[in-house]
Amino acid sequence: MSSSHPTNLADRYAFLQSELARLEHAYYVLDNPLVPDSEYDRLYRELLDIELAHPQWITADSLSQRVGGAALKAFDSVTHVMPMLSLNNAFEDAELIAFDRRCREGLHLNQVEYAGELKFDGLAISLRYEHGSLVRAATRGDGASGEDVTANIKTIRAIPLKLTGANIPAVLEVRGEVFMYLEDFQKMNALAAQAGEKEFANPRNAAAGSLRQLDSKITAKRPLSFFAYGLGALEPTSWLPTTHEALLNVYVQLGLPVCSERRVLHSVEAILSFYNEIGSKREALPYDIDGVVYKVNSFTEQAKLGFVSRAPRFALAHKFPAQEALTTVLGIDVQV
Protein backbone atom coordinates (compact mmCIF):
# COMPACT_ATOMS: atom_id res chain seq x y z
CA MET A 1 0.00 0.00 0.00
CA SER A 2 1.41 3.39 -0.89
CA SER A 3 1.01 6.70 0.93
CA SER A 4 0.40 8.24 -2.53
CA HIS A 5 -3.19 6.95 -2.10
CA PRO A 6 -4.09 8.72 1.13
CA THR A 7 -7.81 8.05 0.81
CA ASN A 8 -7.27 4.30 0.48
CA LEU A 9 -4.78 4.30 3.32
CA ALA A 10 -7.23 6.19 5.51
CA ASP A 11 -9.87 3.59 4.66
CA ARG A 12 -7.44 0.79 5.44
CA TYR A 13 -6.58 2.49 8.75
CA ALA A 14 -10.27 2.75 9.69
CA PHE A 15 -10.77 -0.90 8.70
CA LEU A 16 -7.83 -2.00 10.88
CA GLN A 17 -9.21 -0.11 13.87
CA SER A 18 -12.59 -1.82 13.62
CA GLU A 19 -11.21 -5.25 12.68
CA LEU A 20 -8.71 -5.24 15.56
CA ALA A 21 -11.44 -4.08 17.96
CA ARG A 22 -13.55 -7.07 16.86
CA LEU A 23 -10.63 -9.51 17.31
CA GLU A 24 -9.72 -8.03 20.72
CA HIS A 25 -13.27 -8.34 21.99
CA ALA A 26 -13.34 -12.04 21.04
CA TYR A 27 -9.91 -12.65 22.59
CA TYR A 28 -10.00 -10.60 25.80
CA VAL A 29 -13.68 -10.47 26.69
CA LEU A 30 -15.05 -13.74 25.30
CA ASP A 31 -11.83 -15.83 25.64
CA ASN A 32 -12.60 -17.13 22.18
CA PRO A 33 -10.05 -15.93 19.57
CA LEU A 34 -11.19 -15.72 15.97
CA VAL A 35 -7.73 -15.82 14.33
CA PRO A 36 -4.21 -17.05 15.26
CA ASP A 37 -2.09 -14.57 17.28
CA SER A 38 0.29 -14.19 14.33
CA GLU A 39 -2.58 -12.86 12.18
CA TYR A 40 -3.63 -10.41 14.91
CA ASP A 41 0.03 -9.34 15.37
CA ARG A 42 0.39 -8.75 11.60
CA LEU A 43 -2.68 -6.46 11.48
CA TYR A 44 -1.61 -4.67 14.65
CA ARG A 45 1.87 -4.05 13.17
CA GLU A 46 0.25 -2.65 10.03
CA LEU A 47 -1.78 -0.25 12.19
CA LEU A 48 1.40 0.90 13.99
CA ASP A 49 3.24 1.39 10.68
CA ILE A 50 0.42 3.57 9.36
CA GLU A 51 0.43 5.60 12.59
CA LEU A 52 4.20 6.04 12.32
CA ALA A 53 3.78 7.50 8.84
CA HIS A 54 0.68 9.56 9.81
CA PRO A 55 0.96 10.47 13.51
CA GLN A 56 -1.73 13.14 13.03
CA TRP A 57 -4.31 10.34 12.61
CA ILE A 58 -3.70 8.96 16.11
CA THR A 59 -6.52 9.70 18.53
CA ALA A 60 -6.74 8.85 22.22
CA ASP A 61 -9.10 5.97 21.46
CA SER A 62 -6.85 4.34 18.84
CA LEU A 63 -6.19 0.70 19.73
CA SER A 64 -2.48 1.53 19.81
CA GLN A 65 -3.13 3.74 22.85
CA ARG A 66 -5.18 1.19 24.79
CA VAL A 67 -4.51 -1.93 26.82
CA GLY A 68 -6.44 -5.20 26.46
CA GLY A 69 -10.21 -5.38 26.56
CA ALA A 70 -13.16 -4.33 28.65
CA ALA A 71 -14.11 -6.13 31.86
CA LEU A 72 -17.12 -8.44 31.90
CA LYS A 73 -20.00 -6.63 33.61
CA ALA A 74 -20.89 -9.78 35.54
CA PHE A 75 -17.86 -9.25 37.81
CA ASP A 76 -17.43 -6.33 40.20
CA SER A 77 -15.00 -3.79 38.81
CA VAL A 78 -11.66 -3.09 40.55
CA THR A 79 -9.79 0.14 39.85
CA HIS A 80 -6.05 -0.49 39.67
CA VAL A 81 -4.12 1.93 41.91
CA MET A 82 -1.17 1.34 39.58
CA PRO A 83 -2.31 0.69 35.99
CA MET A 84 -1.69 -2.78 34.53
CA LEU A 85 0.00 -2.09 31.22
CA SER A 86 0.99 -4.07 28.18
CA LEU A 87 4.53 -4.60 26.87
CA ASN A 88 6.14 -3.27 23.72
CA ASN A 89 7.00 -6.13 21.40
CA ALA A 90 10.11 -6.83 19.36
CA PHE A 91 10.23 -9.46 16.64
CA GLU A 92 13.65 -8.64 15.16
CA ASP A 93 17.12 -8.38 16.74
CA ALA A 94 17.38 -4.83 15.38
CA GLU A 95 14.38 -3.76 17.50
CA LEU A 96 16.04 -5.20 20.58
CA ILE A 97 19.30 -3.38 19.81
CA ALA A 98 17.31 -0.15 19.41
CA PHE A 99 15.60 -0.78 22.79
CA ASP A 100 19.00 -1.16 24.51
CA ARG A 101 20.25 2.02 22.82
CA ARG A 102 17.16 3.98 23.95
CA CYS A 103 17.61 2.75 27.54
CA ARG A 104 21.35 3.62 27.59
CA GLU A 105 20.71 7.06 26.08
CA GLY A 106 17.76 7.75 28.37
CA LEU A 107 19.82 6.85 31.42
CA HIS A 108 23.14 8.35 30.18
CA LEU A 109 24.86 5.01 30.82
CA ASN A 110 27.29 2.97 28.72
CA GLN A 111 25.75 -0.25 29.93
CA VAL A 112 22.35 -1.14 31.40
CA GLU A 113 21.61 -4.22 33.49
CA TYR A 114 18.47 -6.15 32.51
CA ALA A 115 16.44 -8.87 34.17
CA GLY A 116 15.58 -11.51 31.57
CA GLU A 117 12.58 -13.77 32.15
CA LEU A 118 10.01 -15.81 30.26
CA LYS A 119 6.92 -14.36 28.66
CA PHE A 120 4.21 -16.68 29.91
CA ASP A 121 1.21 -17.13 27.67
CA GLY A 122 -1.57 -16.84 30.20
CA LEU A 123 -3.59 -14.10 31.82
CA ALA A 124 -2.22 -11.18 33.86
CA ILE A 125 -3.49 -10.89 37.43
CA SER A 126 -2.95 -8.50 40.34
CA LEU A 127 -3.02 -10.00 43.85
CA ARG A 128 -3.48 -7.55 46.71
CA TYR A 129 -2.05 -8.64 50.05
CA GLU A 130 -2.75 -6.55 53.16
CA HIS A 131 -0.53 -7.40 56.13
CA GLY A 132 0.28 -10.64 54.37
CA SER A 133 -3.30 -11.81 53.68
CA LEU A 134 -4.75 -12.08 50.18
CA VAL A 135 -7.68 -9.65 50.13
CA ARG A 136 -8.37 -9.08 46.44
CA ALA A 137 -7.47 -10.38 43.01
CA ALA A 138 -8.20 -8.55 39.78
CA THR A 139 -7.69 -9.16 36.06
CA ARG A 140 -5.97 -6.54 33.89
CA GLY A 141 -9.17 -5.52 32.06
CA ASP A 142 -8.47 -2.32 30.14
CA GLY A 143 -5.42 -1.60 32.31
CA ALA A 144 -7.18 1.07 34.41
CA SER A 145 -9.77 -1.28 35.90
CA GLY A 146 -10.29 -5.03 35.84
CA GLU A 147 -12.61 -7.74 37.13
CA ASP A 148 -12.75 -8.82 40.77
CA VAL A 149 -11.94 -12.54 40.57
CA THR A 150 -10.95 -12.99 44.23
CA ALA A 151 -13.16 -16.02 44.89
CA ASN A 152 -11.82 -17.80 41.82
CA ILE A 153 -8.18 -16.95 42.53
CA LYS A 154 -8.52 -18.38 46.03
CA THR A 155 -9.13 -21.81 44.48
CA ILE A 156 -5.63 -21.85 42.90
CA ARG A 157 -3.34 -23.87 45.15
CA ALA A 158 -0.13 -22.23 43.85
CA ILE A 159 -1.30 -18.85 45.16
CA PRO A 160 -0.69 -18.40 48.92
CA LEU A 161 -3.62 -17.02 50.89
CA LYS A 162 -1.08 -15.81 53.45
CA LEU A 163 2.49 -14.67 52.81
CA THR A 164 5.26 -16.16 54.93
CA GLY A 165 8.33 -14.57 56.50
CA ALA A 166 9.10 -11.72 58.88
CA ASN A 167 9.34 -8.70 56.57
CA ILE A 168 5.85 -8.34 55.10
CA PRO A 169 4.71 -4.87 53.94
CA ALA A 170 1.31 -3.42 54.90
CA VAL A 171 0.17 -3.46 51.25
CA LEU A 172 1.74 -5.54 48.50
CA GLU A 173 0.19 -5.98 45.08
CA VAL A 174 1.85 -8.91 43.38
CA ARG A 175 1.49 -9.03 39.61
CA GLY A 176 1.90 -12.22 37.65
CA GLU A 177 0.43 -14.68 35.20
CA VAL A 178 -2.25 -17.33 35.70
CA PHE A 179 -1.60 -20.19 33.30
CA MET A 180 -2.09 -23.92 32.79
CA TYR A 181 0.65 -26.55 32.55
CA LEU A 182 0.47 -28.33 29.18
CA GLU A 183 -0.04 -31.72 30.80
CA ASP A 184 -2.95 -30.40 32.89
CA PHE A 185 -4.44 -28.71 29.82
CA GLN A 186 -4.30 -31.93 27.80
CA LYS A 187 -5.88 -33.96 30.60
CA MET A 188 -8.63 -31.36 31.04
CA ASN A 189 -9.42 -31.30 27.32
CA ALA A 190 -9.44 -35.12 27.18
CA LEU A 191 -12.01 -35.18 30.00
CA ALA A 192 -14.08 -32.49 28.26
CA ALA A 193 -14.01 -34.53 25.02
CA GLN A 194 -15.12 -37.68 26.90
CA ALA A 195 -18.00 -35.75 28.45
CA GLY A 196 -18.95 -34.31 25.05
CA GLU A 197 -18.15 -30.78 26.27
CA LYS A 198 -16.43 -27.97 24.37
CA GLU A 199 -12.61 -28.24 24.31
CA PHE A 200 -10.40 -25.17 24.68
CA ALA A 201 -8.28 -24.02 21.73
CA ASN A 202 -5.07 -23.65 23.73
CA PRO A 203 -3.81 -23.37 27.35
CA ARG A 204 -4.03 -19.56 27.30
CA ASN A 205 -7.74 -19.57 26.49
CA ALA A 206 -8.32 -22.42 28.91
CA ALA A 207 -6.66 -20.42 31.70
CA ALA A 208 -8.54 -17.22 30.90
CA GLY A 209 -11.87 -19.02 30.45
CA SER A 210 -11.43 -20.97 33.67
CA LEU A 211 -10.51 -17.95 35.76
CA ARG A 212 -13.35 -15.81 34.46
CA GLN A 213 -16.09 -18.21 35.56
CA LEU A 214 -19.01 -16.81 37.52
CA ASP A 215 -19.13 -19.97 39.63
CA SER A 216 -15.87 -20.47 41.53
CA LYS A 217 -16.74 -24.18 42.02
CA ILE A 218 -16.04 -24.57 38.30
CA THR A 219 -12.73 -22.70 38.58
CA ALA A 220 -11.77 -24.94 41.52
CA LYS A 221 -11.94 -27.96 39.21
CA ARG A 222 -9.64 -26.37 36.63
CA PRO A 223 -5.88 -27.01 37.00
CA LEU A 224 -4.67 -23.39 37.11
CA SER A 225 -1.22 -22.28 38.16
CA PHE A 226 0.62 -19.00 38.71
CA PHE A 227 4.02 -17.28 38.42
CA ALA A 228 4.76 -13.88 40.01
CA TYR A 229 6.80 -11.38 37.93
CA GLY A 230 5.86 -7.83 38.92
CA LEU A 231 4.63 -5.26 41.40
CA GLY A 232 1.63 -2.94 41.69
CA ALA A 233 0.79 -0.85 44.78
CA LEU A 234 3.16 -0.99 47.75
CA GLU A 235 3.04 0.47 51.28
CA PRO A 236 5.45 1.49 52.66
CA THR A 237 7.47 2.20 49.51
CA SER A 238 10.67 2.00 51.59
CA TRP A 239 10.15 -1.80 51.60
CA LEU A 240 11.09 -2.00 47.91
CA PRO A 241 14.34 -3.85 47.11
CA THR A 242 16.67 -2.01 44.70
CA THR A 243 16.25 -4.32 41.72
CA HIS A 244 13.63 -6.42 39.97
CA GLU A 245 15.72 -9.55 40.47
CA ALA A 246 15.99 -8.85 44.22
CA LEU A 247 12.19 -8.37 44.36
CA LEU A 248 11.64 -11.78 42.76
CA ASN A 249 14.01 -13.35 45.29
CA VAL A 250 11.99 -11.73 48.11
CA TYR A 251 8.80 -13.09 46.52
CA VAL A 252 10.25 -16.60 46.77
CA GLN A 253 10.90 -16.01 50.50
CA LEU A 254 7.31 -14.81 50.91
CA GLY A 255 6.08 -18.14 49.53
CA LEU A 256 5.12 -16.92 46.04
CA PRO A 257 5.88 -19.08 42.99
CA VAL A 258 8.50 -17.47 40.73
CA CYS A 259 9.84 -19.16 37.61
CA SER A 260 13.49 -20.17 37.97
CA GLU A 261 14.20 -19.62 34.24
CA ARG A 262 15.48 -16.08 34.70
CA ARG A 263 18.81 -14.31 34.45
CA VAL A 264 20.47 -10.92 34.97
CA LEU A 265 21.91 -9.77 31.62
CA HIS A 266 24.59 -7.15 31.03
CA SER A 267 24.86 -6.71 27.27
CA VAL A 268 22.96 -7.09 24.01
CA GLU A 269 25.05 -10.20 23.32
CA ALA A 270 23.96 -11.74 26.66
CA ILE A 271 20.34 -10.83 25.89
CA LEU A 272 20.48 -12.51 22.48
CA SER A 273 22.08 -15.63 23.86
CA PHE A 274 19.37 -15.82 26.58
CA TYR A 275 16.72 -15.45 23.85
CA ASN A 276 18.32 -18.21 21.74
CA GLU A 277 18.82 -20.49 24.71
CA ILE A 278 15.21 -20.17 25.84
CA GLY A 279 14.06 -20.51 22.22
CA SER A 280 15.83 -23.86 21.93
CA LYS A 281 14.32 -25.03 25.24
CA ARG A 282 10.83 -23.78 24.42
CA GLU A 283 9.44 -27.07 23.11
CA ALA A 284 10.61 -28.88 26.24
CA LEU A 285 9.10 -26.41 28.73
CA PRO A 286 6.03 -27.73 30.57
CA TYR A 287 4.02 -24.55 29.79
CA ASP A 288 3.51 -22.25 26.79
CA ILE A 289 5.61 -19.13 26.39
CA ASP A 290 5.49 -16.73 23.46
CA GLY A 291 8.79 -14.96 24.03
CA VAL A 292 11.11 -13.60 26.66
CA VAL A 293 10.86 -10.28 28.52
CA TYR A 294 13.69 -7.91 29.39
CA LYS A 295 13.21 -5.37 32.17
CA VAL A 296 15.71 -2.73 33.27
CA ASN A 297 16.81 -4.29 36.55
CA SER A 298 17.20 -1.18 38.75
CA PHE A 299 13.91 0.30 40.00
CA THR A 300 15.47 3.79 40.11
CA GLU A 301 16.40 3.46 36.44
CA GLN A 302 12.94 2.09 35.61
CA ALA A 303 11.38 5.18 37.19
CA LYS A 304 13.69 7.48 35.18
CA LEU A 305 12.66 5.83 31.89
CA GLY A 306 8.94 5.86 32.77
CA PHE A 307 6.03 4.90 30.53
CA VAL A 308 4.43 5.60 27.18
CA SER A 309 0.65 5.43 26.97
CA ARG A 310 0.16 1.64 27.10
CA ALA A 311 3.56 0.17 28.03
CA PRO A 312 6.67 0.85 30.10
CA ARG A 313 9.75 2.23 28.33
CA PHE A 314 11.96 0.09 30.57
CA ALA A 315 10.71 -3.31 29.37
CA LEU A 316 10.47 -5.20 26.11
CA ALA A 317 8.84 -8.48 25.06
CA HIS A 318 11.01 -10.30 22.51
CA LYS A 319 8.60 -12.66 20.77
CA PHE A 320 9.33 -16.06 19.30
CA PRO A 321 7.98 -16.92 15.86
CA ALA A 322 4.36 -18.04 16.20
CA GLN A 323 3.94 -21.80 16.62
CA GLU A 324 0.42 -21.74 15.29
CA ALA A 325 1.10 -19.64 12.16
CA LEU A 326 0.01 -21.16 8.92
CA THR A 327 2.73 -21.37 6.30
CA THR A 328 1.99 -22.24 2.73
CA VAL A 329 4.32 -24.87 1.34
CA LEU A 330 3.69 -25.90 -2.25
CA GLY A 331 0.22 -24.50 -1.96
CA ILE A 332 -0.65 -26.63 1.09
CA ASP A 333 -1.38 -25.05 4.45
CA VAL A 334 0.62 -26.68 7.24
CA GLN A 335 0.77 -26.05 10.97
CA VAL A 336 4.26 -24.98 12.11
Which one, 140 or 222, has the nearer CB to ligand NAD?
140
We find the least distance from the C-beta atom of residue 154 to ligand NAD, in angstroms, to be 20
What distance in Å separates the CA atoms of residue 194 and residue 200, rounded to the nearest whole number?
14
Number of residues that bind ligand NAD (CB under 6 A): 24
Compare residues 3 and 18 and give the one whose CB is closer to ligand NAD.
18
Task: Give the footprint of ligand NAD on residues 11-30 (CB under 6 A).
Answer: 23-24, 27
Contact 245, 115 (CB under 8 A): yes
Which residues are registered as beta bridge partners of 129? 134, 172
Q: Which C-beta is closer to ligand NAD: that of 33 or that of 209?
A: 33
Tell which one of 31, 37, 100, 288 touches ligand NAD (CB under 6 A). 37
Give the span between the Cα atoms of 211 and 151, in whole angstroms: 10
What does the per-residue mask of binding to ligand NAD show for 49-88, with x meaning CB under 6 A?
-------------------x-----------------xx-
Check: CB of residue 135 under 8 Å from CB of residue 175: no
Give the one residue of 146, 160, 169, 230 binding ligand NAD; rule: CB under 6 A: 230
Which one is catalytic: 73, 119, 187, 281? 119
Site for ligand NAD in 140-159 (CB under 6 A): 140
- Any known ligand binding at 76? no
Comparison of 50 and 292: residue with beta carbon closer to ligand NAD: 292
44 labelled binding-site residue: no
Task: Report the DSSP pairing between strands 315-319 and 89-90.
Answer: parallel
| DSSP conformation class of 333 | E
Give the torsion through C-alpha atoms of 175, 201, 259, 131, to 10 deg: 30
| 119 classed as catalytic | yes
CB of 150 to ligand NAD, least distance (A): 18
- 252 phi-psi bin (left φ>0, alpha ψ -120 to 50, beta other): alpha
Using the rule CB under 6 A, is 129 a contact of ligand NAD? no
Task: Kindly list the distances between the CA atom of residue 273 and the CA atoms of 84, 100, 238, 262, 277, in Å, as whole numbers in the listed order.
Answer: 29, 15, 35, 13, 6
Question: In angstroms, rounded to a whole number, what is the distance separating the alpha carbons of residues 206 and 224?
Answer: 9
Helices 268-281 and 93-107 sit at what angle, rounded to 10 degrees? 140
87 assigned ligand-binding residue: yes
177 known ligand binder: yes
Question: Annotated binding residue at 77?
Answer: no
> Between residues 222 and 262, which has the closer beta carbon with respect to ligand NAD?
262
> Binder to ligand NAD among 107, 124, 156, 159 (CB under 6 A)?
124
- Tell which one of 33, 146, 169, 209 touches ligand NAD (CB under 6 A): 33
The DSSP 8-state label assigned to residue 76 in this structure reads P
208 binds ligand NAD (CB under 6 A): no
At residue 294, what are phi and psi to the nearest 5 degrees? -115, 135
Least distance CB 289 / ligand NAD (angstroms) = 8
Binds ligand NAD by CB under 6 A, chosen from 99, 229, 274, 287: 229
Closest-CA residue to 311 (of 87, 62, 47): 87
41 annotated as ligand-binding = yes
Between CA 211 and CA 34 the distance in angstroms is 20
Question: Of 13, 40, 114, 274, which one interacts with ligand NAD (CB under 6 A)?
Answer: 40
Burial tier of 140 (Cβ tally within 10 Å: 0-12, 13-18, 19+): buried
12 is in an annotated binding site: no
140 is in an annotated binding site: yes
> Which residues of the chain form contacts with ligand NAD (CB under 6 A)?
23-24, 27, 33-35, 37, 40-41, 68, 86-87, 89, 117, 119-120, 124, 140, 177, 229-230, 290, 293, 317
Active site amino acids: 119
